[in-house]
A = this chain, B = another copy of it.
Amino acid sequence: MAKIHEVAQAAGVSISTVSYALSGKRPVSAATRARIEAAAQALDYAPNAGARMLAGRRTHILALTEPLRPDTHAPTHMAFVLASSIAARRNDYDVLLLTDEQASAGMRRVATSGLADGIIVLDVAPDDERVELARRIDLPTAFVGVPDDSEGLMCVDLDFERAAGDAVDKLVTAGHQVIGLVGHAPSAYQLSNFPPRVRDGYSAAAQAAGVRAEFRMLEGEGDVQTLARRAAGELLDAGATGILLHCHDTAHAAVLSEVHDRGLEVPQDVSIISVGSTFDTGAFATPLSAYPLVPKLSCDLAVELLVQSLSGEPPEPGVRLIAPTYLDNGSVATPRAAR
């Protein structure tokens, strides 16, 4: 816990020179800079966080709000938290975690006490209460996810509609005439913002392509495995030869089991594409091609937007959709019927 004053003394310069040398905000001769850096090193000096906040009017902290609901999918969530944290650190920001409590209370507190320079909003709900709050406070705020009403907000997300649409096109191009989508549990379509977007992108693309498109959510009694197998079974029974998966990894595995148990081969008998998954779709017994959801891309951009907001030339508000990319693991082929 050395102080700037001690560093200055050790280096034989004034404290302002130390400050400038270390921040680089003013040119300092190479020689003195070297002495200062050596002294700082030797004393294990780091500017006091509180003093820096107060004098510099900058906390070097980003707040991360994530209302950990009982139903949040932990692995996905963790991936986003980690990606945000890494992006923040890369820009020399620390991350303050806002979890419990009525989501907005934390945001408000951080804003009024000046504890953070900006806010990253994770796990965005369609009608998120943090939307209105973000408009009211004057802290730059970036949403990772797109709420229903995104007017005036900075939002970043995968272009789920297009990911689903591209996936449909991929199947159609391969010759599939009947396709299916295995989705999340019905509740996810209320609580999260992206499952509906996948569904809609899927339907629109299918309609545009003139193919028959079935859709099943993980609905009813039983565990995820059972529901996923049933959903997949129904799609296959309906004649689907191409299937899109927008669900958790457990459900993916269950669908593959169902397909396998029916004596069907991927991709010879049925083609499968995973859409918007954060896990490794190449790790299943049958590797799956995918239009993955990459947390790093979203979080990097979110942090970048915040940093830029703090730099003087704030970026335009608006929704930034990240173009989906195809990850080919060989699970798509022309169906037998079309050969």
Contacts and interface: CB of A to CB of B under 8 A. Distances in A.
Interface of A: 1, 44-54, 59, 61, 64, 68, 72, 74-75, 77-78, 81-82, 85-86, 89, 94-97, 99-101, 109, 112-115, 138, 223, 250, 253, 285
Contact of A115 (B78, B94, B100): B94
B78 A113 contact: no
Contacts of A115: 49, 94
13 contacts: A1-B114, A47-B113, A49-B59, A49-B113, A49-B114, A49-B115, A53-B53, A68-B82, A74-B75, A82-B99, A86-B99, A94-B96, A96-B96
A87 to B, nearest CB: 9
Contacts of A285: 223
A51 B113 CA distance: 10
Contacts of A82: 68, 99-100
A78 B85 contact: no
A253 B226 CA distance: 13
B89 A101 contact: yes
A193 B94 CA distance: 28
A52 B51 CA distance: 10
Contact of A50 (B51, B68, B86, B253): B51
